[in-house]
Copies of this chain bind each other. A is one copy, B any other.
Amino acid sequence: MHVTPQQQAEIDALRAERAETRRATVPALEDVLYQPFPVLDHGFVRVVDYMGDDAAIVQAARVSYGRGTKRSRDDQGLINYLMRNAHTSPFEMCEIKLHVKLPIFVARQWIRHRTASVNEYSARYSILDREFYVPSESQLAIQSSANAQGRGEAGVGEQLSLAPGAAAPRGARRRAAEQARRAEAKGMQESLTEDAERSFDQYDSLHAAGLARELARIGLPLSAYTQWYWKTDLHNLLHFLALRIDEHAQWEIREYARVILDLVDHWVPLTAKAFRSHRLGGARLSEEGLEAVKRLLNGEDVDPAALGMSPREWRELRATLGLPED
């Protein structure tokens, strides 16, 4: 369950309140304020407070007395410029506070971003709810190498491991493989569930036997859910998103990043647009990579080794440029 009925009631009560303010206000974000957006099987993200908007970034960049310009086209141009040239301080002028419920192993990756404020629910003093993350069958299937006989989507390294000309299984054989894959994923799910249930049973009984909470919880699994208030500024939030939306990040934290980016779209649409174009999309070319591109554009042959590029760099560059493998 993502939130209990009682928690939802508290949230609804809060959402019903209104106050008048002179501050910069973003109606599109107000609409979803306090609402929990589900992530994974029991987690959520909800915006608890925010400060600033796109205009505040423009205002800060100009150190002006009033609001930003009234013409959003000018604002977009300035925000693009700031993003492109790594003028990051104006983006620090906006702040957001989230309430997040997430598995502990995700929390451990998340907390590596140090430029944020955190208040976490304490398992030293409070009882943890019996809630833990169990990956879906399809996640387990995708992430399991045994299953990787051929679905195009598949897991992290799968495509790379398929030799160019490999014949993918078809027809009956394919269906059988699919079934085996499902059965195995189901088995994994059950195993993870049982083990977590058993650890929570132990937690309950140690606690019932009078062991301090801070010790009783050490047997709980990394999949147990925790929750926290997490507050950061927009610049650091975008940095977090850039790293955690990336396909190298673990799928579970990417799910949180995906939901948060959607909230950023509501909050600061001009900045979100610039971010997608200049940080999420596109590519960074090394000095050698840029030199190679110049030569290619000039119609020259390129010898990557002569430029000082490793075979891996060269392969990555060609992929980036949409060129066929060498």
Residue of B218, B223, B285 touching A192 (CB-CB under 8 A): B218
Cβ-neighbour of A321 out of B14, B286, B293 (below 8 A): B293
Decide yes or no: A215 and B143 within 8 Å by CB, A20-B19, A34-B22, A321-B294 being known contacts: yes
A217 close to chain B: CB less than 8 A: yes
CB within 8 Å of B: which residues of A? 3, 7, 10-11, 13-15, 17-25, 30, 33-34, 49-52, 56, 59-61, 63-67, 77, 80, 84-86, 89-90, 92-93, 95, 97, 99, 103-105, 107-108, 111-112, 114-115, 117-121, 124, 133, 135, 139-140, 143-147, 154-156, 184, 188, 191-192, 195-196, 198-199, 202, 205-206, 209-212, 214-215, 217-223, 227-229, 231, 233, 243, 248, 250, 276-278, 280-290, 293-294, 296-298, 308, 310, 313, 320-323
Q: How distant is the Cα of A140 from the Cα of B209 in the complex, in angstroms?
A: 11
Say yes or no: A283-B282 contact (C-beta < 8 A), given A22-B34, A223-B218.
no
Residue of B with least CB distance to A32 = B22
A-B contact pairs, 7 of them (CB 8 A): A3-B65, A143-B214, A143-B215, A144-B209, A188-B206, A188-B211, A277-B287
Whether B51 contacts A11 by the Cβ 8 Å rule is: no
Residue of B nearest to A274 (CB): B286
Task: For A80, list chain B residues within 8 Å (CB).
Answer: 310, 313
Contacts A14-B67, A231-B93, A283-B285 given; indicate if A140 touches B198 (C-beta within 8 A): no
Q: Is A97 within 8 A of B103, CB to CB?
A: no
Given contacts A218-B223, A219-B221, A282-B288, 18 further A-B contacts (CB under 8 A): A3-B65, A19-B21, A20-B30, A21-B21, A21-B23, A23-B33, A49-B51, A59-B229, A63-B119, A86-B243, A89-B119, A90-B119, A111-B112, A147-B210, A191-B205, A192-B206, A282-B284, A285-B285
A65-B10, A92-B117 in contact; A206/B191 too (CB < 8 A)?
A: yes
B297, A290: Cβ atoms closer than 8 Å: no
CA distance A218 to B18 in the complex (A): 42
Shortest CB distance A6–B (Å): 8
A155 contacts which chain B residues (CB < 8 A)? 212
Contact of A278 among B63, B99, B284 (CB under 8 A): B284
Q: Please, how many angstroms separate the alpha-carbon atoms of A288 and B4 in the complex? A: 43
Q: List, in ascending order, chain B residues with CB within 8 A of A51's CB.
A: 49-51, 95, 97
- Which single residue of chain B is at the shortest CB-CB distance from A185? B211
CA distance A24 to B48 in the complex (A): 9
Complex Cα–Cα for A288 and B281 (A): 8
Task: Determine which of B49, B92, B192, B278 lies in contact with A56 in the assembled complex, contact meaning CB atoms within 8 Å.
Answer: B49
Q: A211-B144, A250-B124, A297-B323 are in contact. Are A20 and B10 (CB under 8 A)?
A: no
Task: Return the contact of A20 from the options B25, B67, B284, B290 (Cβ within 8 A).
Answer: B25
Note all chain B residues with C-beta closer than 8 A to A95: 51, 95, 231
* Chain B residues whose C-beta falls within 8 Å of the C-beta of A111 in the assembled complex: 108, 111-112
**Quick check: A22 and B15 within 8 Å, CB to CB?**
yes
| Other-chain contact of A310, B77, B211, B227, B293 (Cβ < 8 Å) | B77
